Amino acid sequence: MGEKIPEPFCWDASFEVFYAQLDTEHKGLFKGVFDVAADKGNAGALAHLVKVVVDHFAYEEGQMKKANYENFDSHKKLHEEFVGKIKGLKAPVDDATVHFAKDWLVNH
């Protein structure tokens, strides 16, 4: 069992990783998921979420490589699976998909 999904769904200090750029990007991920959840039929919000996720993962993976993060390969695979799932989505998304995105973001 993972962390409880916050409601309302928003970033808070409990998710802080203490790297300013990553924390800023994580806040953007939470907002992106929140925006999709708030308007499941909004294709623009969904497209924005995909962009924010792809951009963030690229940055985060670059930082992991620089730091010689020992679990890089497995973490990158988690990112690839998540991107594969959300890139295949079309608006409107269903409640199960929103829950999946929230849970993944909170617990990965």
User: pLDDT > 90: what percent of the chain?
Assistant: 90
CATH number of the CATH domain containing 76? 1.20.120.50
When divided into structural domains, the chain yields a total of 1
CA gap 26, 44 in Å, rounded: 20
Domain that holds residue 55: 20-102
The pLDDT value recorded for residue 2 is 74
Quick check: is 41 in a domain? yes
The pLDDT value recorded for residue 12 is 92
Quick check: is 9 in a domain? no
Q: Tell me the pLDDT tens digit for each residue of 25-44.
A: 999 999 999 999 999 999 99
pTM: 0.91
Contact 4, 97 (CB under 8 A): no
45, burial (CB in 10 Å: exposed 0-12, middle 13-18, buried 19+): buried
Quick check: is 86 in a domain? yes
Quick check: is 54 in a domain? yes
